[in-house]
Chains A and B, each alone.
Chain A
Amino acid sequence: MTLKDILPGEKCRIKNIYVNNLRKRIIDMGLTTNTEITVKKMAPLGDPMEILVRGYLLTLRKAEARMIEVEKIGGSS
C-alpha cells in the first residue's frame, strides 16, 4: 500500500521511501521510516494531496506519494 491509496481522514505510518525524485527533500521534511501521517485532503483538481506530518501541513504530488510505502493505522476518524 502506498501513500497515494490512503483516503482523506485516514492515518498511516511510513514503511519505506522509494522516491528518487525530491528524495532528500522528502526525507528532510520529516517523512522518514515509521513517521505517522494523516491524509487531510486532495487539491480541488484531485492532485496534489495535503498531509499532516510532524504537526504541520505538507502538500506533495501523487507521483511522489505512490513511491512512499505505508501501512494504514486505526480506523477512519
Chain B
Amino acid sequence: MLKIALVGNPNSGKTTLFNGLTGSNQFVGNWPGVTVEKKSGKLKYQDFEAEIIDLPGIYSLSTISLEEEIAVRFVIENKMDLIINIVDASSLERNLYLTYQLLDSKIPMIVALNCMDIVQKKLQQIDIKKLEDELQIPVIPITASKKTGINDLIKLIAAYDYAGQKHEHRYEDQIEKTIEVFENLIGDRFLAIRFFEDGLKILEPLKLPPEANAKMIEAYEQESKRYQIDFDMVIPNSRYDAIIAVCEIVLTKNGTDVISVTEKIDKILTHKWIGLPLFGLIMFMVFFLAFGPIGTWITDWFVFGIEWLFSRVDTLIANLGMMPWVSSLITNGVFGGLAAVIGFLPQLAILFLFMAILEDSGYMSRAAFIMDRLLRKFGLSGKAFIPMLIGFGCSVPAMAATRTLDKDEDRKITTMIIPFISCGAKAPIYGVFAGALFFRASYVAVFSMYVLGIIVAILSAVMFKKTILKSASANYIMELPEYRMPTVKNTMLHTWERVKGFLLKAGTILLGAFIIIWFLSYFGFVDGTFRMLMEDEIEHSILGAVGKFLLPVFRPIGFPDWQATVAMLTGLVAKESVVGTLGILYGVAGNVVENGSLLYEPIRLAFTSAQAYAFMAFALLSTPCIAAIAAMKKEFNSWKWLIFSLLYEFVVAYLVALIIFQVGSLDQGVILSIIFGIIAIMIVVFSIRKFVIKRGAICDSCVNCSIKDNCHLPKKDEFLAIIDQKKEDDQDDRE
C-alpha cells in the first residue's frame, strides 16, 4: 500500500486534515505539539487506497525535541511514497521554510495550503497558480476545519504521478559548490545539505568509520572559511531569501494590516498587570469546576450509578452459584478495583475537558509564556508548566504531556517530579485524615499538602538539574499560535481521546494489578491452612502479613498499626483505595469512600495528629500508583531510570514523613506540628536555593560564551565527545 505522510508546522491543522482524510477520530489541539506519537489511518477513494501517517508537527528538519525527532527520522529513514506538506497560509513565510527543506529530499510532495479563511480575514490573497509555478509542485487550497478543498486534495492524491520526475531546488552557485564537495564525500545530495546545515549531528546515525568522519570535519572547516556569514546560517538565509521572493510574487495584501483578534485578546490575557491574576483565576476556575461542588456533585451521582450497577452484578453472580473464589475474583478483584478507578472518572473528564478547551483555544501557550520566568528559576522551561498542571488532575496524562519538552533530560526531570504534584486521587486521603483530626484547621492541612507537593517537586527539579541531569537545558522558544474558537466536536474528541486512554489503561494494566492485589488480600494462612478469606479476615491475608512484616520500617514515620501499612500498600493500585482499605481494616460498616466521616472515629483512636499529618505527607510523596508507574516506564523507556525514580520518591516520602512525625511529636499541638513541618521544609528550600541557583542562562556548549567570539559550529571535540557519550548510554540502556 502507498505510504503518505502528513508533514507540517505545529498548529498548522495537520491533525484536522488527517481526520478529514481518514475519517478517524484523531484529536486536535492548539498546544504546539499535540500529536506525540505517529498515528496512521487509511484513505479510501474509489479504487485508490493509501496509508496516511500523521507525524508530530515540526518547524524544521533540524530537531531539538524528542517528538520532532520522531517526525524527522520518519521522513529521512522511511522512504515514503508521498509527503503532503500542510502549510498554514496565514504565516506563509515561516511555513514555507519546511517546504523548502522537504523539497531537498526529492520525495514526491503535494502542498496543502490551509487556513485560507484566515488569510481572507487578514485581507490578503494568495495566487495558487503562481505558487505552484514557483515551487514546481501541486498546491491545493483547503480549509481543514471547515472541510473545504479536502475532496480536491484526495482526488489529486489518487491521480498523482508517483513515478514522475521530481523538481530539485537549486541554491546560489557558491552554495551549490559546497554542497557538491559534501555530496562527493557522503554520496547523497539531501544528506549533504543536511550536513551543511546541521553539522556532524546528521552523520551520527550513518555510523561512518572514524576516518570518513574526520574527512567530513575537515571539509566542513575548509568550506566554512569561504563564507562571510556564519556557516550554519548560509542555507537558511538563502532559503528565506527565496521564500521572500516567492511571497512577493504570490501574496497580495489589500490595504493596511488589520489588528488581528489575537492581538486584541492578548492585550488583556498577557497584559503586564492583569495577565498574571487572570491566569491564576483561569486555573482556579478549572480546578474549582473539576474538584469543587459541581465536580463532586457529578461524581456522587456517577458513583451512585456505578455502585447500583455493580450491586446488581454482585447479586447476579451470587445467584449463579459459582465457586466462591470465582465470584470473589469478579466482584472484589475486577469490579471492586474498577469501581475505585472509574469513580474518579467524572472529575478527570471535567479536567480533561477544560484542558482541551484551553489547548484548542491557544491559551496553553500563553500560560507557558507567563510562567516561564518563574519555572526557569527552578531549572525548568515554561513549557513544563502544562504537564505539571495536568499533574494536579492525574499523573498519567501529565507524563504523556512531557513530550513537548525540548530535551530528553528536561523530560526526565519533569516526569520524575510529576508524582509529587498532588493528583486528584490523593484528595480523599487528606479529606478523611484532616477531617478526623484537624477540625477547623482541616482546610489548612489539606492545602498545605498541595503546597508541600509543589515544594518537594521544585526542590527535586533543582537538585536533579544540578547533579545527575546537568545537561538539562530548560530551553524556551515558542510560537504563540493565533487564538481559535474551539469547536465542540474537536473539544469533545480531544477529551474523549484522553478519557479513552485512561480507561484503556484501567482495563489492561490496572486490571492485572487489581487481580494480583485481590489475590494478596483475599488469600492467606488461617490456623496453618492456606485458604480464601472472608471480607473481615484481611488481617490474615498475604497482604496483611506483608503489612505486619513491614510495620517496623514504618514505625519511625508514625504509622500506628499494620492497618495503616496495608492501606498504604493498596494505594499502589490507586491512591483512592487507601481510604477504602482503611475502612475494611478498621471494620467500619458502610461506605467510607462515599462517607468519609465514618472513618473519623477509628482514625482518632489510632492516629495522633502528628501521625496523621506524616501519613498524609507519605501518601502524597511516596511511590505513585501502578497506572502512573506504567506511564513513567513508557516515558523513560528504561528500567534503570524507572527504578531510580521510584526509589527516589520512596526515600523522599520517608524522609519528609520522618521529619514531620519526629518534629510533630515533640509538641502535640495540631497547628504547631503543621507549622513545624512547613518551616523545616522552607529552611531546606532556601538553604539549597542559596547554594545552587545562579543567575543567567546556561548555554549548551560554551558556558562562558562571549558575544564577541564568533563561534564556529560544530566544535569538533565536543561533537565527538557527545557522540561517544550517546553510544555509551545506548549500550548501558541495552544492558
- Point out residues on A near B: beta carbons under 8 Å: 17-18, 20-30, 32-33, 35, 40-48, 50, 54-61, 63-64, 66-67, 69
Contact = CB atoms under 8 A, between A and B. Distances in A.
B112 to A, nearest CB: 19
B94 A33 contact: no
Given A28-B236, A43-B369, A55-B91, A21 B275 contact: no
Contacts of B163: none
A7 B127 CA distance: 36
A43 B374 CA distance: 11
B272 A63 contact: no
Given A32-B240, A43-B369, 16 more contacts: A27-B232, A27-B236, A28-B62, A28-B97, A28-B236, A33-B233, A42-B272, A44-B271, A44-B279, A45-B276, A48-B372, A54-B91, A57-B482, A58-B480, A60-B477, A63-B697
A63 B60 CA distance: 22
A67 B711 CA distance: 12
Closest 3 CB pairs of A and B: A63-B697, A28-B60, A45-B373
A25 B59 contact: yes
B272 A41 contact: yes
A60 B701 CA distance: 19
Contact of A55 (B92, B701, B705, B711): B92
Contacts of B370: 43-45
B90 to A, nearest CB: 8
B487 to A, nearest CB: 22
A56 B62 contact: no
A17 B231 CA distance: 12
A56 B700 contact: no
A44 B276 contact: yes
Contacts of B701: 20-21
Chain B interface size band reads 35 or more
Contact of A20 (B372, B477, B479, B700): B700
19 contacts: A17-B230, A20-B699, A21-B698, A22-B475, A25-B59, A25-B60, A29-B60, A30-B240, A44-B272, A44-B275, A44-B276, A45-B374, A48-B372, A50-B480, A54-B91, A54-B93, A56-B91, A59-B372, A60-B478
Given A21-B699, A23-B232, A43 B373 contact: yes
Contacts of A46: 373
A50 B94 contact: no
Contacts of B369: 43, 48, 50, 59
A50 B366 CA distance: 10
Interface in B331-377: 369-370, 372-374, 376
Nearest to B197: A24
B696 A58 contact: no
A21 B406 CA distance: 12
A15 B39 CA distance: 41
Contacts of B92: 55
Contacts of B710: 18
A64 B697 contact: yes
Nearest to A53: B94
Given A24-B62, A24-B64, A35 B702 contact: no
B476 to A, nearest CB: 5
Contacts of A40: 263
B475 A21 contact: yes
Given A18-B710, A21-B475, A44-B275, A29 B94 contact: yes
Contacts of B707: 18, 66-67, 69
Contact of A48 (B97, B273, B276, B373): B373
A24 B710 CA distance: 15
Nearest to B276: A44
A32 to B, nearest CB: 5
B476 A60 contact: yes
Interface string B221-252: 00000000110110011001000000000000
B270 interface: yes
Contacts of B373: 43, 45-48
Contact of A25 (B477, B702, B713): B477
Given A23-B232, A32-B240, A45-B276, A54 B699 contact: no
Contact of A57 (B62, B97, B479): B479
A63 B696 contact: yes
B23 to A, nearest CB: 31
B415 interface: no
Contacts of A35: 240
B719 to A, nearest CB: 13
B408 to A, nearest CB: 15
A18 B479 CA distance: 21
A60 B233 CA distance: 19
Nearest to A60: B477
A69 B705 CA distance: 15
Contacts of B713: 23
B266 to A, nearest CB: 8
A15 to B, nearest CB: 11
Given A33-B237, A44-B272, A56-B479, A25 B705 contact: no
Interface in B88-113: 90-94, 97
Interface in B672-699: 696-699
B229 to A, nearest CB: 6
B382 interface: yes
A63 to B, nearest CB: 3
B229 A33 contact: yes
A40 B369 CA distance: 13
Contact of A58 (B262, B478, B482): B478
B233 A43 contact: no
B94 A54 contact: yes
A58 B372 contact: no
Interface string B56-98: 0001101010000000000000000000000000111110010
A28 B98 CA distance: 9
B64 A22 contact: yes
A63 B705 CA distance: 12
B705 A20 contact: yes
Nearest to B65: A25
